Amino acid sequence: MKKLLVVLLAVFVVMSFAQLKVALLINGTLGDKSFFDSAARGIKMAEKDLGIKATIIEMGYDQSAWRPTLEDIADQDYDVIIVGTWQMQEILEDVAPMYPEKKFIIFDTTVDYSKGDLDNVYSILYKQNEGSFLAGALAAMITTSGMEKTNPQPIIGFLGGMDIPVINDFLVGYIEGAKYINPNIKVIISYAGAFNDPAKGKELVLAQYRQGADISFNVAGETGIGLLEAAKEMDKWAIGVDSDQALIVEEKDPDMAWHIVTSMMKNVDLSIYRALKLTIEGKCPYGKAEALGIAEKGIGLADNKYYEKIVPKKFRDKIKEIEKLILEGKIKVDTAFGMPREKLDELRNSVRP
Amino acid sequence: MKAIEMIDIVKVYPNGIVANKGVNFEVEEGEIHALVGENGAGKTTLMKILFGIEQPTSGEIRIFEKEVHIHSPHDAIAKGIGMVHQHFMLVPSFTVAENIVLGMEPKKGFSIDMDEAVKIVEEASKRYGLEVPPTERVLDLPVGIKQRIEILKALVRGAKILILDEPTAVLTPQETEELFVALKNLAKKGMTIIFISHKLKEVKEISDRVTVLRDGKTMGTFLTKDVSEEDISRLMVGRDVELVIERPEPKPGKIVLEVKNLNYFREDGVQVLKNVSFALREGEILGVAGVEGNGQRELVEILTGLRFGAIGSVRLLGEEILGYDAYTLRRKKIAHIPEDRVEKGAALKASIAENLISDRYYKEPFSKRLLLFPRKVIEYAKKAIKDFSIKTDSPLTPVGMLSGGNMQKVVVAREFTAGAKLLIADQPTRGIDVGSTEFVRKELIKVRDEGVAVLLVSADLQEILQLSDRIIVMYKGEIVGYFDKNEGLTEEELGYYMLGVKRHDENKIKEAFAL
Amino acid sequence: MNELVHGILSPQFFYSILRVTTPILFAALAALLSDVAGSTNIGIEGMMLMSAFWGVMVSAWTGSAWIGLLAGVTSSVLLSLALAYFYLNLKTDLVLAGIAFNIFSSGATVFLLYLFTGDKGSSSSLKSYVLPKIDIPLIKDIPVVGDILSGHHVLTYIAFISVFVVQYFIYKTPLGLRLRAVGENPDAAQSVGISVKKIRYISMLLSGLMAGFGGAFLSMGYVSWFARDMTNGRGFIGLAAQALGGHSAFGSMWGSLLFGLAEAASYTLQAIRIPSEFTNMLPFIFTIIALAIYARSKLLQIKKIKEEEKKA
């Protein structure tokens, strides 16, 4: 009897893996030109290449509906359920243990595994420090390149939302990347103290540009809109973040898009595709969080028409070369997580103008 | 011609209180007509109806022999009725002219035509013989002038009938005299004046006729010259009232309170107390006279721990107590009847019983450790209600439901039974009826004779003269007059000091401290 | 040090003070207009936010920045009238209602943004329009002064012109007189037949108008998008600026400029690596210093008396 059950179960498992049923729950709506659209793209790719059967559910912005929707979906016969962003973290921590037979993937954040019973959850993080390393290297090359909108001073800018580890993780990579290109690089670092104050973001970056910076990196959420405005107003360069910000603004303001050389993107699409692929292969490390970097194509610079038109080929090649070096482990990028304050300050002071 | 006829006016408030039970009130054009009655007799309600603030439940109003309905003060003003309220309705930071033209500003383009406004004021001021400085700020003006501004405000709006609600309560005798001259002058010009007052002496002096209200009913209208003060008060109260209170010779004991070089700056930086020094012994009443706003309020609040930041020295039985809070001072046997019973003296929503023990609820027999004994509290309250003849049906009645006089009696009952060494009584009889006033004044003499030191602050000069053994007069934060006994002292004489016209020399004022 | 001097003494720095001050100044004037009538508008923050939102939406729909401005200001005024209704007719507590309106605006704008654009962070996908900048002839050609005073956003000029208009309105016109009378002693106003309620409605409406301009400036001039909660406390800073300046439009202006100066300085200082923890404190340190100076004069007076007393 017991044997029979095992066999049946084995058959069932094999059958179910034959065509993986996947649900992507979006805590918002599609059309954000950012994470959600990217996640949907990843699902489409997996549908095409991996032969999964997928459903995308837009849960809207009413937070009270998210949890019941997640439970409803888990009650159905999906094998893998994908959610994203920190807003879903707690909900998933509550719901996942109730469905131990289901698999869950969460991107751009991690559940707290110390809470236990989360062996069926795989968390995808992105090594923003590695991506920022590329952004820093690119900025350092552009600032002294003699390109239009630049001055000869080796000064670049950084706009952070707040002085907190996740933002400083971008900063550490950015500084190290810039110093890799030019050891004498100076970085003007500004923190807005808020993620929703574009006016303040604009003022801070205008001040950076006045101090001689000619390119600045936006790591400040909605505050960062101000950076893009400032770049357009002072006719300087900007580097976007998270998703391809040039594509986001080009429709609204083409002129502004032409000031965004590239964006440091989190490749949600590729990371989801990869996770599903590993799941089918039985190699996906559920019960763990994984930080994806350049090696896993989890992050990278946006390779769009603006990048190609604005950035000279030799710089783009150099970026590719750096990517390779990181991939091969020849360049190791530090992270701000767990970095002692003194060391962070030392790093920041080393590039002080 | 009859200026006003109010016929069978009945007013029932939504809470069921019947304020006017068929009042009849008639005023001839060009006369000064006094309206008197105890608090709660219905005077205020009647005047509110006449001025359109309240609507009568039933009854008829005729103005200049035409039946009218007055829906709002605006309406009343349009019909030629003006009211001078007891509390001035002036904007302190505005100039006299701005206050007078407010709501009917002359214009030049978009701006107010200030020159025209000043002209309006000057003309009216000349025509009615009420002199005011048009361009000065009201804030800095004496009370008497403020009152003139109020009267002018009504007159420039075309008032033919003027209602004056206790106009002399805040005035010095000299200012009162000037007011009376002005009012007689206005009456001569055909103005009709209704004069509401508690002060029967003034009623006798100024009015042509007097109407007495009691308990929401008209007790009658008389030619003033035909009735005596005693007659009027008997009609008001319904029994004989002692208008003069007997005050036996004081037997002062040792010094209780010593105030030396007290200085105080208000929050806005104005110095409201300047080197105030005086002493007070047990078994005597020290009266503090002065026009309101000359530092008396701050003095009382500092002495009772309600105001901090004063410089100088205050000693109670030799101990320095300046800067102590109210709780500590009460434990050191200072009792305080505050100027404003509604704001400070009583908790309106709490019951009579609760108010009576609010300074001693933590002591036996009312409580022990954490427990309060409601039965003991009510027993005690019943006794106090009887001793102080508070008119109520239950000790559990919220104080807010009582009339002004009875509310004050609750406060007085608490403070008189606190076992105090020093009693600070701030305007103890303001706004309460003749009967209650008589009672409170007698009690003050009684505690004095029991050896309590009493500091009596009052704007009522009659009260100061009747009760005080010694008197200090305050003017602009300073003691400007000191009288070690008050025989032969008149209200007029005190008035000169209160207005800053007369002033004692340094040595005389120092006697207030050096006993 | 060199960079500090370079940063602070540049014309661009003074130019940025005026720009940073603009929304604060509008908020301060909004606070002033409500405060003189005795009903302080705590909901300025929310009204600015509403205006910022509708300005962007309507300008995107109509293709006209001016119609957008009109819509933004109208939304703010409607909100202010609603607040007045709650306070004056429904007798709710003004402060609580004001706070409730702020929270409501914060939520409602995000909700509506999502409803109209599917976005909830910012109006990034919307092609909205901004109000123009204006060069002042003659002045723009003067070196330094021209760099500081010319080329500002049209609403920046309106803000500073409003200071004079508001001052004139409050102190020279009949309506202004009534506003002040109601604020200082409503009974006095009532006693001469002025409707306190009507005057407070008017004051709230004018306050909403100013708040509306301030909000529109943020999303239609400062930047060209709406972002969730983008006012970020400027309404409250305006209230503080007004409190510093008392019942004078010029006082409000100086108060606003003080905050503007502190804020602009904090941006520039941060760019030269003064820690952000410190620079973000600057505007508030300025406030405390201003209050301390005020209190000090009073203390000196008391000290003088004490000394005189010792001599005596």
Q: How confident is the model over B100-126, as pLDDT tens digits?
A: 999 889 999 899 999 999 999 999 999
Given this model, what pLDDT does residue B337 score? 92
With CB atoms and an 8 Å threshold, state whether C222 touches A249.
no
As to burial, measured by CB atoms within 10 angstroms (0-12 exposed, 13-18 middle, 19+ buried), residue A109 is middle
Query: Could you tell me which chains touch chain B, where touching means 3 or more CB pairs under 8 A?
Result: C
The CA distance from B268 to B140, in Å, is: 14
Residue pairs spanning A and C at CB distance below 8 A:
122
Contact B263 C305 (CB under 8 A): yes
Strands B58-63 and B66-68: antiparallel
Collapsed DSSP state (helix, strand, coil) of residue B245: coil
Q: What is the pLDDT of residues C72-103, one digit of tens each?
A: 999 999 999 999 999 999 999 999 999 999 99
Whether C277 sits inside 8 A of A199 (CB atoms) is no
* Chain C partners within 8 Å of B105 (Cβ): 174, 177
Measured between beta carbons, the chain C residues lying within 8 angstroms of A156 are none
3-class DSSP string for C45-93? HHHHHHHHHHHHHHHHHHCCHHHHHHHHHHHHHHHHHHHHHHHHHCCCC
Which residue has better confidence, B86 or B375? Answer: B375
In chain C, the residue whose alpha carbon lies closest to the alpha carbon of A224 is: C227
- Tell me which of B7-16, B55-64, B499-508, C46-55 is least confident: B7-16
Other beta carbons less than 10 A from residue B3's beta carbon? 24
Chain A residues in contact with C23 (beta carbon < 8 A) = 199
Under the banding of pLDDT at 50, 70 and 90, the label for residue B273 is very high
Residue A40, min C-alpha distance to chain C (Å): 16
A151 secondary structure, DSSP code? -
CB within 8 Å: C184 and B153: no
Q: Which residue carries 């509290």 as its tokens?
A: B377
Least reliable range by pLDDT among A318-322, B410-414, B439-443, C136-140: C136-140
Q: Which residues of C touch B93 (CB under 8 A)?
A: 180, 184
Q: Does A2 touch chain C (CB under 8 A)?
A: no
Return residues 88-117 of A near C (CB < 8 Å): none
pLDDT at B10: 92
CB-closest option in B91, B93, B111 to C172 = B111
The Cα of C185 is separated from the nearest Cα of chain A by a number of Å equal to 40
Which residue matches tokens 């509604």?
Answer: B342
CA distance C188 to chain B (A): 4
- Check A198 against C122: CB less than 8 A apart: yes
How far CA C243 is from CA of A165, C64, C210, C251, in Å, comes to 38, 36, 16, 9
**DSSP codes, B136-180:** SBGGGS-HHHHHHHHHHHHHHTT-SEEEEESTTTT--HHHHHHHH
More confident: C300 or C269: C269
Give pLDDT, residue C249.
94
Q: Facing residues of A266 across strands?
A: A299
Q: Do A191 and C270 touch (CB under 8 A)?
A: yes
pLDDT value for C301: 60
Dist CA C267 CA C15 (whole Å): 13
Q: For the CA atoms of A212, A214, A215, A216, what is the dihedral angle to 10 degrees?
A: 30
For chain C, strand residue ranges (E) read: 133-134, 152-153
Residue C1 has pLDDT above 60, yes or no: no
Stretch B183-190: mean pLDDT: 91
Cβ–Cβ under 8 Å, residues B473 and B251: no
Whether residue A211 and residue C114 make contact (CB cut-off 8 A), yes or no, is no
- The pLDDT tens digits for B379-408 are 889 988 888 888 887 888 888 887 777 888
- Residue B262: closest CA among chain C residues belongs to which residue? C309
CB A268, CB A288: distance < 8 Å: no
Inform me whether the pLDDT recorded for B372 exceeds 80: yes
Q: Is C138 near chain B, with CB under 8 Å?
A: no
CB B256 within 8 A of CB B317: yes
| Among candidates C227, C268, C273 on the partner chain, residue whose Cβ is nearest the Cβ of A198 | C227
Nearest C-alpha in C relative to A29? C118
Could you tell me if the ipTM is greater than 0.90?
Answer: no
Q: How confident is the model at residue C8 (pLDDT cuts 50, 70, 90)?
A: low
Higher pLDDT, B240 or A171: A171
Nearest CA in chain A to C14: A207
* Chains near C (3 or more Cβ pairs under 8 Å): A, B
User: What is the per-residue pLDDT across C212-266, written as a single tens digit (0 to 9) for each?
Assistant: 999 999 999 888 889 888 998 899 989 988 888 888 999 999 989 988 988 888 8
Q: Which tokens belong to B487?
A: 């025989």
Distance from CA of C7 to the nearest CA of A (A): 7
Identify the CA nearest to A22 among candidates A106, A84, A104, A98: A104
Write down the mean pLDDT value for chain B.
88
Q: Distance, in angstroms, between B34 CA and closest chain C CA?
A: 22
**Single-letter amino acid code for the residue at B481:** G
- Cross-chain Cβ contact A352/C121 below 8 Å: no
Predicted confidence at residue B434, as pLDDT, reads: 75
pLDDT, position C167: 96
Share above pLDDT 70 across residues of chain B, in percent, rounded to a whole number: 98
Name the neighbours of A, counting chains with at least 3 Cβ pairs within 8 A.
C
- CB-based contact (8 Å) between B372 and chain C? no
Residue C120 to residue A28, Cβ atoms within 8 A: yes
**CB pairs B-C closer than 8 Å:** 84
B 99-138 near C (Cβ less than 8 A): 99, 102-105, 107, 110-112
Chain-chain contact of C178 with B102 (C-beta, under 8 angstroms): yes
The answer to whether B and A touch (≥3 CB pairs < 8 Å) is no
Cβ-Cβ contacts under 8 Å, A197 against chain C: 227, 230, 232
Chain C positions touching A194 (Cβ under 8 A) are 232
Q: Which residues contact B219 (CB under 8 A, 6 or more apart)?
A: B212, B213, B235, B236
Query: Would you give the distance in Å from CA B180 to the centre of its chain?
Result: 19
What is the distance between the alpha carbons of residues B238 and B218, in angstroms, rounded to a whole number? 13
- Per-residue pLDDT at C5: 65
Please give the average per-residue pLDDT across C125-134, as a whole number.
83
Asked whether residue B374 carries a pLDDT value surpassing 70, the answer given is yes
User: To the nearest whole percent, how much of chain C has pLDDT over 90?
Assistant: 50
Do the Cβ atoms of C7 and A211 come within 8 Å?
yes
Query: In Å, how far are B314, B477, C307, C309 from C312, measured between CA atoms?
Result: 18, 18, 9, 5
**Nearest chain A Cα to C19, which residue?**
A203
Residue C2 confidence class, pLDDT cut points 50, 70, 90: low
* pLDDT reported for residue C295: 66
Strands (E), A113-253: 121-126, 155-160, 186-191, 215-219, 237-242
Residue C155: pLDDT over 80: yes
Q: For position C294, what pLDDT does the model report?
A: 60
Among chain C residues, CA nearest to A250: C125
Give A57's strand partners: A25
- For residue C296, the distance in angstroms to the closest alpha carbon of chain B comes to 11
Comparing B187-196, B314-323, B441-450, C284-293, which segment has the lowest mean pLDDT? C284-293
pLDDT at B306 over 80: yes
What pLDDT does residue C128 have? 82
DSSP for A30-75 reads S--SSHHHHHHHHHHHHHHHH--EEEEEE--S-GGGHHHHHHHHHH
- Of chain A residues 209-248, which have a CB less than 8 A from chain C? 210-211, 221-223, 225-226, 229, 248
**Nearest in space to B345 (alpha carbons), one of B296, B384, B402:** B402
**CB proximity B98 to C under 8 Å:** yes
Which residues of chain A from 5 to 64 reach within 8 Å of chain C, CB to CB? 28-33, 61
Structure tokens at C221: 């001039």
Q: Does C172 touch chain B (CB under 8 A)?
A: yes
Average pLDDT value for residue range B157-169: 89
Most confident of the ranges B309-313, B497-501, C273-277: B309-313
Residue C151, pLDDT above cutoff 90: no
Domains defined for chain C, CATH in brackets: 2-311 (1.10.3470)
The answer to whether the beta carbons of residues B137 and B92 sit under 8 Å apart is yes
Which regions in chain A score pLDDT beneath 70?
1-18
Question: Of A198, A206, A251, which is closest to C16 when you measure between CB atoms?
Answer: A206
- B248 shares contact with chain C (CB less than 8 Å): no
Q: Do C16 and A203 touch (CB under 8 A)?
A: yes
Domains of chain A: 20-126+269-292 (3.40.50.2300), 129-265+312-350 (3.40.50.2300)
Inter-CA distances, B288 with B182, B504, C132, Å: 29, 15, 68
User: CB of A194 within 8 Å of any CB in chain C?
Assistant: yes
The whole-chain average pLDDT of chain C stands at: 87
C touches A (3+ CB pairs < 8 Å)? Answer: yes
